[in-house]
Amino acid sequence: MGVTIGFHPSPDDNPPGNPNPTNFKILSWHCRGDWLLIKVLYPDSKNYEGTKLLLFKDLTVEKLKLINFLDPHFSDQNGVISPIARFEPTERGWALAMQIIKSEVL
């Protein structure tokens, strides 16, 4: 069971085709230092067959496994887990995200 922090709209508030932040599956991940890159499937999403590549800073795999609400959109609300970047869910997108992780830009 995961912990939801902060205010989150109801999954029923999502327009058709938008990712349902409570209906997701982590397909793969790569962590290095404070960086975590994840490939996520949102079956309710229409573009790229629901696949998203999300890059996080200061999120661990252990904490990720406890999350039951993962919105791929950017948010500045306190307590909301928000990606620092999103990439097209392709091999090119994964490679670009890996370059950021390796360069340790931030």
pLDDT, tens digit, 9 for 90 and up, residues 45-101: 988 889 999 999 999 999 999 999 999 999 988 888 999 999 999 999 999 999 999
Gap between the Cα atoms of 88 and 95, Å rounded: 10
- pLDDT of 2 above 80: no
pTM: 0.80
Token pair 């948010």 is at which residue? 75
Please name the helix (run of DSSP H) or strand (run of DSSP E) that holds residue 25, with its range, or none: strand 25-32
Number of helical (H) and strand (E) elements in the chain, helices listed first: 2, 4
Half-sphere exposure (CA, 13 Å, Cβ side) for 96? 12
For residues 13-31, give the mean pLDDT: 85
